[in-house]
Structure 1
Amino acid sequence: MNWYSSIFELIDMRSFSNLWFWIALAVVWSSASHWVLGVPFDMVIRARRVGGQAVVDLQDITRVNVNRILYVTDVSGIWILGFVCFLLSTLLVLGFYYWVEFAQALFLIGFPMSLVGLINLSTARRIRREDLQGADLSKRLTRCRIYTQIIGMISIFVTALFGMYQNLSIGVLG
């Protein structure tokens, strides 16, 4: 028995039975829900409650992040789309055709996050097109957050079901 075997006996390297995967999943969705278009959601709440300078700060940080997102999309959006589609397709084939558990885990995080990215892009375009300010901006950011949370809840549910299936099938077969 060498040190390599000892380490892998001590640390379970399968994704769905590893506590670190579930912690990472929670952190990913918590962060995606808190940072709407790169704006911390507590700023949206503060702008709604306090008004005044908090609204101005929210509008400024949203304007900066919307301009940044739309600039990156205009300059290299096609390349990013192609790379993300390639990566997700690779993970899909590796995970569900060749049954590589790590690729399954990454796909179950990456695919829903790509949907969140599309929602963020759509929201950024709408904010710029309609030149949203004040309460309308807060409503739009809140709606984007709600959509993100809905996708997150569905994603966590599906990932948990699939992870339980994996753990039970490996436990029975292994």
Structure 2
Amino acid sequence: MNRLIIAVTLSSALALGACKKEPPEMAPPPPQNTTPAPTPTPAQTPMAPQPGSQSHFATAMSGADTIYFDTDSYNIDAEDQAALRRQAEYLLQYPNARATVEGHADERGTRDYNLALGERRANSAKNYLVSLGVPETRLRMVSYGEERPVATGSNESAWARNRRAVTVMIEN
């Protein structure tokens, strides 16, 4: 029991001694900020389409990437010539750009007939581009016939939109 009284007395003395507060002689320095300040991120600028890409071409052409034909025809009229001149100017401005001229037909006629007509339309547009100075080696052509319509329906309005040749950039 004697030991217990001594232990309690000692622990009380230690506890009271630890609670004794005296002002420090000098104030401690303020805490240092250890987290680095955030680095401001530069404002994100929208990425412009790469010249020669399909999106850049489509923006530059604003609809002149497509020419339209009369029924059973692959003749290029004055309006088509203007669109093809714009395409040629673009292709000549970007000498690394390559393109595919796609030929399309409406749903009337047999599959074989429409594929042949689409090919004649694509070839007609391609030849006109070549006549304007675009190197033939930079142009491909393909016929989709009636397989890729942009307008559905069995009426003159839909058929007129599907009788077309579309120039599409080949992504490198």
Q: Normalising TM by the smaller chain, what interval?
A: under 0.3
Relative contact order, higher structure (CA 8 A, sep 6+)? 1
Q: Greater Rg, structure 1 or structure 2?
A: 2
Which protein is richer in strand relative to its size? 2
TM-score (structure 2 length as normaliser): 0.26
